[in-house]
Structure 1
Amino acid sequence: MEFKEFIVDKEYENIRLDVYLSKMLLDKSRSFIQNLIEEGNAVINKISKKSNYKLKSGDKVELTIPSPAMLDLKPEDIPLDILYEDKDVIVVNKPQGMVVHPASGVYEGTLVNALLNHCTDLSGINGVSRPGIVHRIDKDTSGVLVVAKNDFAHNKLAEQLKNHSMKRVYIALAEGIIKEEEGTVNQPLARHPVDRIKIAVIKGGREAITHYKVIKRFKSSSLIECRLETGRTHQIRVHMSFIGHPLVGDPVYGYKKQRFNLNGQMLHAKVLGFVHPVTGEYLEFEAEPPEYFKKVIEILEKELPK
């Protein structure tokens, strides 16, 4: 367990508690700090406060950082589709059906288990259950992910995610015929107030922006490209459902009656581009959609009039 104490200078007056602690603890992510605050580990003048508390000059901030819980994560010999690797980052093409990191009773068969078998030098910023994980994609979404091998690389990549400079392009099959050639969904997202498994468009939620354009229209569905400006949980799935075009195969936000026998939504993270955290070189990687995705498109292609 680690204990830290700060006295707020006048220059930091009226800024949020979580922002202040992010500036004081440069080796910790904002989400890590917010979790500490939510769990009651930050007190101001002996009183527990929330992340959005506005600090006053002279406030005494006391922060307790608990020792990380020991979690016996086992390296597993699971094949990895590695697109790129050096001493700082590793870029992989995650298959559909693989969970990115252990959570909610899932401690085996994840991308993290596979990574631990491949290399031991992964960043520790996100704790023992998520070593190296900078961003995630859903279990049943396939595609490109970048993983950090050290904390410096992790922080630099996280900055790019935060300032929306990381390029992320997905392809998806949406239900229905989308009439416009392209569009933008700018709707805030938050946890559904009743069904906690779901994410929903909620006033006052976190900003979420998805740009989409139609690649091809079929008889009753549309192949689209989506570019993420933000990266919220289930963002593309919720946004497309919100405008009346849920993704084909989506068991949560899609139609109950599905034509194809799919294991999840037709969504693939096709392109990922970022500035290398150490060299400063722009890198871009592309992964073709998996076979099941291609087969569905082939079936739809054959149904179009010639």
Structure 2
Amino acid sequence: MEHIEVRIEEQAQGERIDKVVTSYRPQWSRSQVQTWIKEGAITVDGKQIKTNYKVSAGEVVTIIVPDPVTLDVEPEEMNLEIVYEDGDVLVVNKPRGMVVHPAPGNYSGTLVNGLMAHCRDLSGINGVLRPGIVHRIDKDTTGLLMVAKNDMAHESLVNQLKAKTTTRKYKAIVHGNMPHDRGTIDAPIGRDKSDRQRMTVTDENSRDAITHFRVLERFPDFTFVECQLETGRTHQIRVHLKYIGFPLAGDPKYGPKKTLDINGQALHAGVLGFDHPRTGEYMEFEVPLPSDMETLLEQLRNK
């Protein structure tokens, strides 16, 4: 059980307690923090508070992080595409349809199961369900993920994400013909009140979200774009592109039902860059589009 104390600084004055705590440890979700508050595991100046409590400068927030629940997440031999690996980090190219980490009702066939078979020493890093996982991409998104192989690497990579110093570029096919060659979407993202499985642009219980985009190729009814993440919110690119009126092709959650023939959203995490946790050297990796997205582009070009 981890015991953490954080003194609130001036710039956090008036912020909600759950937002402050998740900014300290980005790998914690808002809902997870709110549960800990309700259970009394998070206090302010020794007193229990509500989930909507707003902090004041100088207050001391105490967080008692529960030990992770022990679950039977078994290593599974998989044919993972390892792009890079050393003693500290691993970069993997995730295929479409693969879930990154286990969840209730889905404890097998995930990337974590495959990583546990590939690296036998991941189990103690970042909890039982997410060993080594620093960030994630959605089940039906393809592309690059960085994985930490020890606590030092995990802390470094998480801090780089928090400091917005990593490079994460995605390629996407979207509905509609984008009129602008490039732009920035700066719109906060939070849970959709009408559907807890969806995210939406909202000012309520939201977190800052920034996506930069540029057009790579235009077609009559679709556009091929590159998006670069400045922040990494759940479903960020999918939500932001829908917000500006150009939803992803093949995205049943945020896009139209009538779309291109692809099994999942046409979104690929093609470029990933970060400073190596041990050497400090900047490293950048790139993988080509998956064959199904290449096929879609050829079909659009030949129409």
**TM-score for the superposition, normalised by structure 1:** 0.87
Q: Distance in 2 between matches of 1:227 and 1:263?
A: 23
- Which amino acid is the alignment partner of residue 221 of structure 2? S
Q: Distance in 2 between matches of 1:111 and 1:300?
A: 32
Q: Distance in 2 between matches of 1:7 and 1:171?
A: 39
What is residue 211 of structure 1 aligned with on the other side? 212
Contact 1:208 1:235 survives alignment (8 Å)? yes
- Which amino acid is the alignment partner of residue 146 of structure 1? M
The runs of at least 4 aligned residues of structure 1 exceeding 6 Å deviation read 5-11, 13-23
Q: Does 1:119 align with 2:115?
A: no
Q: Distance in 1 between matches of 2:66 and 2:168?
A: 34
Alpha-carbon shift at residue 67 of structure 1 (Å): 2.8
Alpha-carbon shift at residue 68 of structure 1 (Å): 2.0
- Which amino acid is the alignment partner of residue 80 of structure 2? L
CA RMSD of aligned residues (A): 3.0
What is residue 253 of structure 1 aligned with on the other side? 254
Q: Distance in 1 between matches of 2:43 and 2:114?
A: 39
SS of the residue corresponding to residue 158 of structure 2 reads: helix
Structure whose alpha-carbon radius of gyration is higher: 1
Q: Residue 280 and residue 47 in structure 1: after superposition, are their counterparts in 2 closer, same or farther (change >3 A)? A: same
Q: Distance in 2 between matches of 1:6 and 1:239?
A: 35
Q: Distance in 2 between matches of 1:122 and 1:233?
A: 24
Contact 2:44 2:60 survives alignment (8 Å)? yes
- Which amino acid is the alignment partner of residue 144 of structure 2? V
Deviations 1:57-76 (A, max 9, x none): 6x786654433211100101
Q: Distance in 2 between matches of 1:60 and 1:214?
A: 47
What is residue 220 of structure 1 aligned with on the other side? 221
Q: Percent identity?
A: 48
Q: Does 1:41 align with 2:41?
A: yes
Q: Distance in 2 between matches of 1:10 and 1:268?
A: 38
What is residue 154 of structure 1 aligned with on the other side? 154
**TM-score for the superposition, normalised by structure 2:** 0.87
Q: Residue 100 and residue 9 in structure 1: after superposition, are their counterparts in 2 closer, same or farther (change >3 A)? A: closer
Deviations 1:187-211 (A, max 9, x none): 1100001111110000142111111
What is residue 300 of structure 1 aligned with on the other side? 300
- Which amino acid is the alignment partner of residue 25 of structure 2? S
Q: Distance in 2 between matches of 1:127 and 1:244?
A: 38
Alpha-carbon shift at residue 44 of structure 1 (Å): 4.0
Contact 2:13 2:56 survives alignment (8 Å)? yes
What is residue 25 of structure 2 aligned with on the other side? 29
Deviations 1:257-298 (A, max 9, x none): 1242x2110000000000001100000000111111111111
Deviations 1:104-156 (A, max 9, x none): 31111100000000012227453110000000000000000000011111111
Structure 2 unaligned blocks of 5 or more: none
Q: Distance in 2 between matches of 1:171 and 1:197?
A: 24
What is residue 70 of structure 1 aligned with on the other side? 70
Q: Residue 85 and residue 242 in structure 1: after superposition, are their counterparts in 2 closer, same or farther (change >3 A)? A: same
Structure 1 unaligned blocks of 5 or more: none
Q: Distance in 1 between matches of 2:177 and 2:141?
A: 22
What is residue 79 of structure 1 aligned with on the other side? 79
What is residue 94 of structure 1 aligned with on the other side? 94
Q: Does 1:110 align with 2:110?
A: yes
Count of residues paired in the alignment: 296
